[in-house]
Chain A
């Protein structure tokens, strides 16, 4: 009997744990306890924030060392590319006659002209996703700073993603390459509208609903359409066209775009305090 009890107990415990997990999953999926669950999640993130901040100070140099080791090849290639780019820009700078105009152009480049007058919150990326199944980043601003769920997030060159969760001091941003992400877009040359969908970290985005008759050029810029009910304001650059082809008999083109923002090197981002109703 004692032997029976000893072998049956772990299974009974496992059964209880599985049932508890399934109950939590059901509550979360049905949205029954979503208010409580969101509060618990937000509370956990806020509580962990000071620990995370302290740990970042200590562990960042170690992380950078390993990151450099793992990505040595990538960094070497990027370094070479940046050196080339730097040399080219130096040449251009030397050719520039009007230094005042050059300075203004540089300032314009750094400003988010596409965001217009939309109020914004600047934030720092503090960590990437803890899961291998989602492409998100955590930022160091939350509802206390005016960040709310659903707000668009941009960086210098264009769209980064959307806020999917916000606690008091932290917010989570889903990146536009995540497979759950989609955004209404417009081709800058033809004005045709479509829907861009993320396909994973190293994959370009796919744009659907582009008419086969539309001429799509390589490197053409694709911007947010901002059509009615869109969760993004119009005119934010999303990506550049990598390729476009129409398979025989297809009703739409297969358009593939690369994001304009380097999502692997995000350090600072800007949250636009914008909602579709605004």
Chain B
């Protein structure tokens, strides 16, 4: 398969899995956020620029399927992807627990940032008493999923990572 088609395919696959499978798996009504996790994995695999770009694309797709203001997920996910990519050089990705640990911290940060920025743009109900619990549950589930998604993202971004390696 042409390398340039891999990323759109993975974006569609992640959206499909999020809507058809992960929406049924909840812990206390909190579900994993695979599109946010894709931004994290892209930052981890491809660096800050790739993390921001993939995060923006994943966020924009997420925005099309929710009631929140368009651009909110795109803003948050691109910031999260960029932040993860910026710290990538200081991380030893070969250690197996680095991707889940990064996914845990970045996902929790992403959910909190989404809540706070949502409140700033008029969705005051996003900052609620259970926001921290929501962030921790999403972070835990995303950490588990990252074991698979980081490999899928590596496959999707193989051309990009090779270019950056040169």
Contact = CB atoms under 8 A, between A and B. Distances in A.
Interface of A: 9-10, 13-14, 17-18, 20-25, 27-29, 37, 40-41, 44-45, 48, 51-52, 55-56, 58-60, 62-64, 66-67, 70, 127-134, 136, 164-165, 172, 174, 179-180, 200-202
Given A37-B70, A131-B68, A174-B67, A51 B16 contact: yes
A100 to B, nearest CB: 41
B3 interface: no
A133 B47 contact: no
Interface in B99-136: 111, 114-115, 118, 121-123, 125-126, 128, 130, 134
Contacts of B70: 24-25, 27-28, 37, 41
Contacts of B123: 133
Interface stretch (B58-66, B90-98, B147-155): B58-66
19 contacts: A9-B49, A10-B47, A14-B48, A14-B82, A20-B74, A21-B72, A21-B75, A24-B74, A25-B70, A60-B20, A64-B24, A70-B27, A130-B23, A131-B67, A133-B114, A133-B123, A164-B67, A200-B128, A201-B29
B18 interface: yes
Given A41-B64, A132-B31, 10 more contacts: A14-B52, A17-B78, A21-B78, A25-B75, A45-B64, A64-B24, A130-B23, A131-B66, A132-B30, A132-B111
Contacts, number: 149
Contact of A67 (B25, B62, B71, B85): B25
Interface of B: 12, 15-21, 23-31, 33, 47-49, 52-53, 56, 59, 61-72, 74-75, 78-79, 82, 85-86, 111, 114-115, 118, 121-123, 125-126, 128, 130, 134, 138
Question: Helix, strand, loop or mixed for chain B's interface?
Answer: helix
Question: Helix, strand, loop or mixed for chain A's interface?
Answer: helix
A13 B72 CA distance: 17
A250 to B, nearest CB: 22
Contact of A52 (B16, B115, B121): B16
Nearest to A172: B67
A10 B48 contact: yes
A276 B134 CA distance: 37
A21 B71 contact: yes
A180 B125 contact: yes
Contacts of B16: 51-52, 55, 59
